[in-house]
């Protein structure tokens, strides 16, 4: 290749076309050296061999596709939202019935307890009422006995 030459200082006597031609020749020579350097650099670049890595990726993709196909055929993925809702209702029905029965039994027991309490209150009121009647009757009988005794003794006392 041509050696880089120092640009020639234009003489006053030199032809301007020759000077321009010389500058153009130097630029073309510089461009030629640059392109040759780029080609040499490109040839020196080592491109790695990705065939082994690509083979592993293809194998992994095949295994993943196989697993996805097997997973897609699972019955659980074929279930709709309505199927889920029906299954939940079906599973919940015995528990709901058990809760309903427990509430019904509890309601019956509470009714029995309330009836027992009401009966006890009625008995207590009846006993209290009977006690008052006995006291009034005793008081009335006592008063009647005292009055009868007074009226029975009074003629005897006058007779004496």
Distance (Å, whole) CA 65 – CA 62: 5
pTM given for the model: 0.34
Q: How many independent structural domains does the chain possess?
A: 1
Asked whether residue 26 is domain-assigned, the answer is yes
Containing structural domain, residue 34: 1-45
CA 8 to chain centre: 84
- DSSP run (H or E) holding 45: none
Residue-wise pLDDT tens digits, 76-130: 777 888 988 888 888 888 888 888 999 999 999 999 999 989 888 888 888 888 8
Asked whether residue 4 is domain-assigned, the answer is yes
Asked whether residue 79 is domain-assigned, the answer is no
Asked whether residue 70 is domain-assigned, the answer is no
Asked whether residue 76 is domain-assigned, the answer is no
Distance (Å, whole) CA 4 – CA 29: 8
Residue-wise pLDDT tens digits, 37-82: 887 777 777 778 888 999 999 999 999 999 988 888 888 777 888 9
Asked whether residue 62 is domain-assigned, the answer is no
């Amino acid at each position: 290749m041509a050696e880089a030459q120092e640009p020639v200082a234009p003489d006053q006597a030199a032809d301007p076309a020759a000077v321009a031609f010389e500058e153009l020749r130097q630029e073309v020579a510089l461009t030629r050296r640059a392109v040759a350097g780029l080609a040499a650099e490109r040839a020196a670049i080592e491109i790695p061999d990705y065939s082994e890595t690509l083979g592993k990726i293809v194998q992994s993709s095949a295994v993943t596709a196989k697993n996805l196909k097997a997973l897609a055929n699972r019955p659980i993925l074929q279930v709709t939202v309505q199927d889920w809702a029906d299954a939940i209702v079906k599973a919940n029905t015995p528990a709901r019935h058990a809760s309903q029965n427990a509430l019904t039994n509890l309601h019956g027991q509470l009714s029995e307890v309330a009836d027992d309490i009401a009966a006890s209150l009625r008995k207590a009121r009846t006993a209290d009422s009977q006690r008052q009647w006995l006291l009034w009757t005793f008081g009335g009988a006592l008063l009647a006995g005292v009055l009868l005794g007074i009226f029975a003794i009074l003629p005897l006392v006058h007779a004496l």
